[in-house]
Amino acid sequence: QCVAVCPTGALTEVDHTTKVIRAIADPTKTVLVQTAPAVRAALGEEFGMKPGTLVTGKMVAALRQIGFDYVFDTDFAADLTIMEEGTELLDRLTRFLNGDKNVKLPILTSCCPGWVNFFEHNFTDMLDVPSSAKSPQQMFGAIAKSYFAEKLGKKREELVVVSVMPCLAKKYECQRDEFKVDGNQDVDFSISTRELAHLIKEFNINFEELPDDDFDRPLGESTGAAVIFGATGGVIEAAVRTAYEVYTGKPLPKIDFTELRGMEGIRSATIDFNGLPINIGIAHGLGNARKLLEDVRSGKANYHAIEVMACPGGCIGGGGQPLHHGNSAIIKARMEAIYREDAGKPIRKSHENPYIVKLYEEFLGKPMSEKAHHLLHTHYFSKKKDIYIK
């Protein structure tokens, strides 16, 4: 068993690759893999490639050779997260503008389990402030074991969902009780970028020479908005792309919100929603998150929406990525790769993903519907008793 220290300070890494290989070898199981956006921007480094080399196609080809039955993309679920989180933002905003005093603003992003764990320990008076939307990893698992299982004509227990994540906290997230149905986890195993690299090497796959392959459908289609989830500021930029168009009913004058990008630990910007100024805050690194949240709690900061990522740089700098030893040039190169992939995508707004549109038409109804709420939203718990707080 491989054990390493998580940069979020609270978690340990347990290697589940052996269990994944056993599941692949089990003829009674259908094994699906999903890969997070930041993985493709860093995996190549484990094979001697330059930081910032995008290896999306090779990664898909390698996962097929390892033997996964379906190779899907967490980015699909990132688009789904935007549909739910963006709708929740607009719902809270509309109620606030209509004078509802009970509405909680700013909405906080909730896709980073390192951050979720942190606020469940340290900001227990604000547990109803974060978005109730599950993270993309967990939305993927919930949809895979319901919608996709139905399409395959299989029971959820016959499916094994594996995630490849830049993150060690995702291992803990997928084991949380609220992400299980009768003890069966929505995501069975989460392995890190480094563990995937080890697996590829163990299988003697010549990674550098692999021809590019493409994700399976329907859970493999994604937009540029989903890709940028991997970098600090990306989740909120993706949300703004959709929320702007839904709120104003007009197409965006520009897709890139460069004012939301960058590496400063705490950033802010105001986005004009056709005459309505929306104040956005961004923090990466838990020290910065604490500072920003304390300003919100004391009333010093006035935001409508805040994105927090626990790791410096966001998921591209996650604890499961190839080690970068704090080298900011490596983080910058990975970040540029993420924005390059976004810029090259034919569709760059989550609400225009045709497979997401179909998912709502065929299965979920509309964002925040009862079914969407049941499958795609969660709640948070106070964990204050677990630790000593000054």
Active site residues: 85, 88, 111, 131, 170, 173, 178, 315
Q: Which is nearer to ligand SF4, 62 or 169 (CB)?
A: 169
Q: How far is the CB of 187 from ligand SF4 (least distance, A)?
A: 13
CA 120 to chain centre: 19
DSSP 254-304: -S--GGG-S--SEEEEEEEETTEEEEEEEEESHHHHHHHHHHHHTT----S
**Farthest-apart Cα atoms in the chain, separation:** 62
Buried b (16+ CB within 10 A) or exposed e, 32-59: bbbbbbbbbbbbbbbbebebbbbbbebb
* Secondary structure of residue 164 in the 3-state scheme: strand
Q: How far is the CB of 155 from ligand SF4 (least distance, A)?
A: 30
Buried b (16+ CB within 10 A) or exposed e, 281-293: bbbbbbebbbebb
- Sequence letter at residue 130: P
Residue 246, token pair as written in the block:
């839904």
Q: Which is nearer to ligand SF4, 115 or 273 (CB)?
A: 115
Helix (H), strand (E) at residue 306: strand 305-309
Q: Which is nearer to ligand SF4, 123 or 244 (CB)?
A: 123
Choose among 139, 142, 143, 147: nearest CA to 111: 139
Nearest-angstrom CA–CA distance, 151 and 217:
12
Q: Which is nearer to ligand SF4, 108 or 364 (CB)?
A: 108
Q: Give the angle subtended at the CA of 137 by the CAs of 309 and 42, to the nearest 5°.
A: 65
Q: How far is the CB of 317 from ligand SF4 (least distance, A)?
A: 7
Q: Which is nearer to ligand SF4, 281 or 318 (CB)?
A: 318
The β-bridge partners of 319 are none
Q: Which is nearer to ligand SF4, 112 or 160 (CB)?
A: 112
Q: Which is nearer to ligand SF4, 51 or 113 (CB)?
A: 113
Residue 259 CA neighbour count, 13 Å, CB half: 12
Nearest-angstrom CA–CA distance, 327 and 256:
26
Q: Which is nearer to ligand SF4, 8 or 146 (CB)?
A: 8
Residue 311, token pair as written in the block:
């790791």
User: How many C-beta neighbours within 10 Å does residue 247 have?
Assistant: 18
DSSP annotation of 28 reads T
Binding site for ligand SF4 (CB under 6 A): 8, 112-115, 166-167, 169-170, 309-311, 314-315, 318
Choose among 359, 337, 242, 350: nearest CA to 37: 337
